[in-house]
Amino acid sequence: MKNYRILAGPAMFLLAAGSLMLPTALRAADSPEITKLLTDAKAEAVELKADSDDMESFTRSTMTWRGYGSQLEMIKGHVNNAGKLLAKLKDAEATGSAWQQTAIKRIQPLLQELADNTTATINHLNDNQSKVHMPAFTDYVKANAELATDLEALIRDFVNYGSAKEKFKSLGSKLEAHS
């Protein structure tokens, strides 16, 4: 049994090193479907962040609970749309490149936390309509804005990475063509 363990380390190293030597064409290519879905998710996250930031700014105003309710409905719509995009991303995950699969895995828990917090904010508002200017409610709103900001930044960074990677690949192809 120990002999297998002794061989496993070097064998795994050789396999890993060999995979680095594979031609780029043999590595998993980016999925155009996932790239499109990530771009759509980025657009949804930008709107979600803007609406969440607006709602957070309302905590410094005399907004009524109805105004908060309307804003929360918009935020809920964005979260639901992002959830639908995430479901499509999860369905396509196996066809994606390693970075695309990582993006999907990292988006999921953050979006779930945002959805849970949005639900808690809605429930708190429904149960405490006369207390929208109290710290408990404003803390929910602030947490939602922070999560929306984090989600937007995460998705933006992955989309930007994909764009930069594609530009680099295109430049490499142009250089090879001129050689």
Q: What are the structural domain ranges in the chain?
A: 26-178
Q: Tell me if 162 sits within 8 A of 38, measured CB to CB.
A: yes
Say if residue 13's pLDDT is above 70.
no
Task: Give me the amino acid identity at 57.
Answer: S
Q: Tell me if 144 sits within 8 A of 75, measured CB to CB.
A: yes
What the block records as the tokens of 46 is 């930008």
Task: Give me the amino acid identity at 156.
Answer: R
Q: What is the pLDDT of residues 72-104, one digit of tens each?
A: 999 999 999 999 999 999 999 999 999 999 999
How many Å apart are CA 135 and CA 129, to the nearest integer? 13
Fold of 26-178: Four Helix Bundle (Hemerythrin (Met), subunit A) (1.20.120)
pLDDT value at residue 178: 66
pLDDT value at residue 56: 94
Say if residue 175's pLDDT is above 90.
no
Say if residue 49's pLDDT is above 60.
yes
- For the purposes of burial, counting CB atoms within 10 Å of the CB of 151, is it exposed (0-12), middle (13-18) or buried (19 or more)? buried
Specify the pTM.
0.80
pLDDT value at residue 179: 64
pLDDT value at residue 169: 84
- Report in angstroms the alpha-carbon separations of 45 from 40, 128, 145, 175: 9, 28, 11, 36
pLDDT value at residue 11: 41
What percent of the chain is predicted at pLDDT more than 70?
81
